[in-house]
Amino acid sequence: MPAAPSTQAWVTLCTNDSYALGALVLASSLKRSNTARKIVVMVTPEGLSPPMKSQLKSAFDEVVDVSLLDSKDKVNLSLMERPELGVTFTKLHCWRLVQYTKCVFLDADTMVVRNSDDLFERSEFSAAPDAGWPDCFNSGVFVFAPSVDTFNKLMTHAATQGSFDGGDQGLLNTFFGNWATQDISKHLPFLYNMCATATYTYQPAFKQYGQNVKIVHFIGTAKPWHVKFDIRGQAQPNVYEDNTSQFLQQWWSIFHSDVKPSMAKMGETTWSSVTGAMSSVNLSGSDQYGQGGYPAWGASSSDRGRWERGTPDYTGADSFYNILKKIDSTLASTPDP
């Protein structure tokens, strides 16, 4: 007998306000897909502001506090030039969510395009091949069964074997080392974890199968909430292929329609502690500062200096309401996805 949907959940992780923006869009995309499963976010006490945590509580069915885990593996992390990925070990806490019988983990930089509840029919450990090394799986989307025993074994494996890339993906690929060879049913189609960046260069395949994409993954350092738009409404930097840029537009459409209105209710005072994350959402409507990514709601050299020093004028030119105006004007000039 199939498990009841109430015992199954989508799970993601937030360790700071910046990734919380992605998680909020992810939650909305899941709801738009009419999922029948719970939506859960794990959060850490450091890096996440109380106002943003309040937003997450409104968007998710459950917010779970977890401790921060860090591989501190500078050598392997430097090979990918991604030192921040050590904290992705924190996602291993998902195996401790034993109130659920089956879960699907989604990185906060993913977006659900179509209903994907059929993933819950898969067994642990199911994941899609990594675009860069297909004999490894990408750990941005995976099916798992919560278990304290598995969590403890993962912790032992981390302590004794470590991770070949310094992050969770290297660790999980050695822990579930038979994924590539043992059971093809645990290989998720790429459509469940499709890279939206220019690293996905096989355009003929996208033309053939792209209309069936279910989950998009914005891998790499340039996240949707980091992208600004020029006066023509084009993403800067333009790290997306023409065919896949539609997913960036869809991300911003969801943010504009579902996330921004809720944030607007927070008010100036409450917002001041969150606006640091929002300030990285570069929505410049002009090229006032070239490729520097400085917001254009304040357009003087002194404004630029404030942003460079990390001291934007939260109550004046760089206020939340001015940022919202810039979001409105940018999206109004951008074609619907």
Q: Are residues 129 and 47 in the same domain?
A: yes
Give buried/exposed letters for 129-151 (b at 16+ CB in 10 A, else e). Answer: bbbeeeebbbbbbbbbebeeebb
- Residue 204 counted as domain residue: no
Q: Same domain, yes or no, for 137 and 261? A: no
Q: Domain range for residue 228? A: 222-332
List C-alpha distances in Å: 81 to 86, 168, 258.
12, 15, 33
Domain count, the chain: 2
Q: What is the pLDDT of residue 164?
A: 84
Instruction: Report residue 83's pLDDT band, with 50, 70 and 90 as the boundaries.
Output: very low
Which of residues 21 and 228 earns the better pLDDT score?
A: 21
Residue 215 in any domain: the answer is: no
pLDDT for the residue 274: 54
- Looking at the structure, tell me whether residues 151 and 34 fall in a common domain: yes
Say whether both 43 and 165 belong to one domain. yes
Question: Is residue 98 over pLDDT 80?
Answer: yes
What pLDDT sits at residue 9?
98
Dihedral sign for Cα 278, 279, 282, 288, please: positive
Q: Is 105 part of any domain? A: yes
CATH of the domain at 13: 3.90.550.10
Rounded to the nearest integer, the mean pLDDT of the chain is: 78
Give the separation between CA 20 and CA 13, rounded to whole angstroms. 8
Residue of higher predicted confidence among 56 and 235: 56
Q: Is residue 213 in a domain?
A: no
- Examine the domain organization and report whether 168 and 250 are in the same domain: no
In this structure, the answer to whether residues 271 and 160 fall within a common structural domain is no
In a domain, 83, yes or no: yes
Q: Positive or negative CA dihedral for 211, 217, 220, 225? A: positive
Residues 166 and 285 occupy one common structural domain: no
Looking at the domain assignment, is residue 265 inside a domain?
A: yes
Same domain, 176 and 66: yes
pLDDT higher than threshold 70 for residue 187: yes
- Together in a domain, 137 and 191: yes
Same structural domain, 169 and 261: no
Residues written for the chain: 337
The verdict on residue 240 lying in a domain is: yes
Q: Of the residues 179, 195, 211, which one is the last residue of a structural domain?
A: 195
Q: Around Cβ 113, how many Cβ atoms within 10 Å? A: 19
210 assigned to some structural domain = no
Please state whether the peptide bond connecting residue 237 to the residue before it is cis, i.e. omega within 30 degrees of 0: yes
Residue 273 pLDDT > 80: no
Q: Report the candidate in 22, 93, 70 with the shortest Cα–Cα distance to residue 281.
A: 22
Cis upstream peptide for 125 (omega within 30°): yes
Q: What integer pLDDT is reported at residue 285 of this predicted model?
A: 33
The verdict on 52 and 137 lying in the same domain is yes
Q: Are residues 176 and 97 in the same domain?
A: yes
